[in-house]
Structure 1
Amino acid sequence: MTEVLPVLAAAAVVDLVDGSGAALHPEVHTGPGLSPQARAAVEAGIPDSTRRAYSADFRQFAAWCAELGRDCLPATADTVTEYIAHLIATPRPRTGQPYSPSSLERVIASIRTAHKAAARTPPETKGARKALAGYRAALSESDDDAARRRAQPNRVNAAVPATLRRFVAALDRTTLKGKRDAALLLLGHAIAARASELVALNVGSVTVDPDGRGIAVAVYRKKVKRWTHPKVMYGSNPATCPVRAVLALLEALGAEGRTDGPLFVRLDRHGHLAPPMTRHGRPIGDPEGRMTTQAAADVIENTAAAAGAEGRYRGHSLRRGFVTAARNAGADMVDIGRHGGWADGSKALLAYVEEDDGWGENNPLIGIGL
């Protein structure tokens, strides 16, 4: 059975091989290839979620091309357009609906990324994007409410401070689990962290300010491949103060003899530090008990459910909530971006600002003299 090895993001190399190691298409030449050590080093620089999504997308594209006798690498502009048209018209087995427009944007990106990674010229995608624009317009103008919703970006809800107050109120903060989950929620919001960035933090990533103003956190922003050191001040509300929550977690970990290693650790169903995991006698998972990105996202989702919050809350809810709250409080977008690890002038940052209902003080019609 043909398999496509994980498609790495830009600057990585894609190897397309079948089970025997033969090239999927004779026209594809990727040179001598990478050693396992080099491939592992490259993959370490790619966000896990990006790698998984692009790998799955390109694997399906390669299978479709193989079935129709088309080349997937290099792919022609017509092949990409035909594939997008195919996806627009084909219901997915899991949902019974075709891909959403936002998912199709990712599919196009995965195809272009695969070509760049293999040092091939990416195919022209104007035709594919025109087909996608027509599809989005048709959904948006449909009489079906569900179709119109599918035309819109599938964003998570923003966990703003008022929301976080409800979340942490649902936790038993006398327990290690409650302390861990409260710190994860509140620190994640305070430093605009992705779930992957949160679980990568160590005890040593947190430095207490000698002047008692709060804590500094060393965060590696894998998406932009650079370190940031956001300063987190004491909050005015003790229940949602990220500094107090983190210090409480550090104290609880210290009582368990954990003075270094991961800040956010796995716990068993009884709320105790989880023992090392094994499968068939072999160790699996992080040997120090570090939480996975999925586990951190589950904490956010499960806490939201326990608090009775409506909407979709996942890892990015904290990051979106920070931007929304800071902007509504009057913070400068440059300061917000630098605190959260965005590049100056980032267009992506604007997408994180959660719109209000339009009747508040941010309405642009206020004060214009009508």
Structure 2
Amino acid sequence: MPADERRLLVEQWARRHGVDAAQRLAEAEDLADVVAAAITPHNTADTYAKSWRVWQRFCAASRLPELEGSRGALVAFVAWMLREGQQGGKGYAPSSASTHLAAVVVGLRERGVAVSADDQAEARAGLEGLAVQLLKAGERRGRGQAVGADLDGLRAIARACPDTLTGDRDKALVLIGFRYASRSQDPAGLLAGDVIPHPRGLLVDILTGKTKHSVRTAKIPYDDEPEICPVRAWSAYRARLVAEHGARWADPATPAFVGIDRWGHITGGMGPDSVTRAIKRISVRAGVPIAWTGHSLRIGLASVARRAGRDSIAIADQGGWARHSRSMLGYMQREDGWNDNAAAGLT
């Protein structure tokens, strides 16, 4: 909240409730700001910051004030993004432009700028209309949906991992991540103590900011194929880590998945970007036809489990989706387009 608005609000509280109560309310507002910042996922904060920089470049190029969210400014913003918004002068994909628009509206409101729902809706309608024009002109932007991991790919990756600590880490990272439909930030947030041995496999406590639940626990069973068994891969990786780098890595407070440089030195815990890069590198090394991304494991569990006849609710619970999630059902549809086709078997 801008300082002037904050001062007026405190003065209003003082008139209504007295000076002491107004001071306590102001302190509560400060606490609320701190809590809001603490619970905002890092990737969300990064997206907002990146989008605001895009907005600043647009305003500089268009000679418009940054702190003005008028209908015309927002419509001009989406047109500029599609035309030339990237640093190199290329246009953004419509999906990226949509993300930046939403984040900029949040950024403007946080800075005290009034942005009406109607103005935002008109900018979004303009974005959708311009995106249709791009398609009609034969221009497709963006990478499209990531390829999903599959069992053949997991087998190829397991065989291609070298007999080193890095190889053992890579194998555990992919095999475990696939079983609970991980996003790239999920393994980065795990501690060793979050992966708990169980007679039937592993219990993995995953910190998430995507739902109202702060932590979900995924059950990872032993696999009938030892080569791609996530439980065996985890045990081998952690045993080797302790054997080669000392007993301190047996501490439950250490990162579950560590960064390892080319000389075999531990660099700390892996971050989301390093997880994404590792998954791509691992899949390329294994000769997977289309390189996997940080989202491939998540897509893969939904599609492979559905193809194997698993119930959609069980898949949602395992992967941390809301039941009947549209994104999860979309991943399944890619596999079921023929077998589950509504037009099949009608005669």
Q: Which runs of 5+ in 2 are unaligned?
A: 8-25
Equivalences for residues 43-192 of structure 1 within 5 A: 43-65=37-59, 68=62, 70-90=64-84, 92-94=86-88, 96-118=89-111, 121-123=114-116, 124-143=119-138, 147-148=139-140, 150=141, 154-172=144-162, 174-192=163-181
Question: Which structure dedicates a bigger proportion of its chain to helix?
Answer: 2
Q: CA deviation at 1:37?
A: 9.8
1:366 aligned onto 2:307: no
3-state secondary structure, aligned to 2:269: coil
Matches within 5 A, 1:271-282: 271-274=264-267
Shifted more, 47-56 versus 236-245: the winner is 47-56
Q: Is residue 2:315 matched to residue 1:336?
A: yes
Which residue identity lines up with residue 169 of structure 2 in the other structure? R
1:77 offset after TM fit, Å? 2.1
Q: In structure 1, what is the Cα distance between the partners aligned to 2:107 and 2:5?
A: 12
Write out aligned runs for 1:244-259 (5 A).
Answer: 244-255=232-243, 256-257=246-247, 258-259=249-250
Q: Secondary structure in 2 aligned to 1:207?
A: strand
Q: Number of aligned pairs?
A: 320
Q: Does the Cα contact within 8 Å between 1:197 and 1:222 map onto a contact in 2?
A: no
CA shift, 1:39, in A, is 7.0
Query: In structure 2, do the counterparts of structure 1 residues 326 and 44 end up closer, same or farther at CA, with 3 Å as the change threshold?
Result: farther
Structure 1 residues 97 and 59: CA distance shift in structure 2, 3 A: closer
Displacement of 1:119: 6.3
TM-superposed CA distance for 1:227, in Å, is 0.8
**Under a length normalisation based on structure 1, what TM-score does the superposition of the two structures give?**
0.77
CA distance in 2, matches of 1:169, 1:242: 14
CA distance in 1, matches of 2:169, 2:176: 10
Shift of 1:82: 1.5
**How far off its partner does 1:165 sit?**
1.5
- In the superposition, relative to structure 1, how do residues 103 and 182 fare at CA in structure 2: closer, same or farther (>3 Å)? same
CA RMSD of aligned residues (A): 2.9
Q: Structure 1, residues 99-119: CA drift from partner, whole Å, max 9, x if none?
A: 111111111111222245456
8 Å Cα contact 2:184-2:275 kept in structure 1: yes
5 Å-filtered alignment, 1:273-352, equals 273-274=266-267, 289-352=268-331
Q: What is the distance in 2 between the residues matched to 1:116 and 1:192?
A: 34
1:268 maps to a residue whose letter is D
Identity value in percent: 29
> 2:274 & 2:127 partners in 1: Cα distance?
34
Q: Where do residues 224-263 of structure 1 align in structure 2 (5 Å cutoff)?
A: 224=211, 226-255=214-243, 256-257=246-247, 258-260=249-251, 261-263=254-256
- Between the aligned partners of 1:117 and 1:332, the Cα distance in structure 2 is 42
Unaligned runs of 5+ in 1: 1-12, 16-27, 275-288
| Deviation of 1:343 (Å) | 2.4
The answer to whether the 8 A contact 1:228-1:339 is kept is: no
Distance 1:119 1:327 in 2: 47
How does the TM-score come out when normalised to structure 2?
A: 0.81
Rg larger in structure: 2
Task: Report the CA distance shift for 1:178/1:67 in structure 2 as closer, same or farther (over 3 A).
Answer: closer
TM superposition shift of 1:62 = 3.2
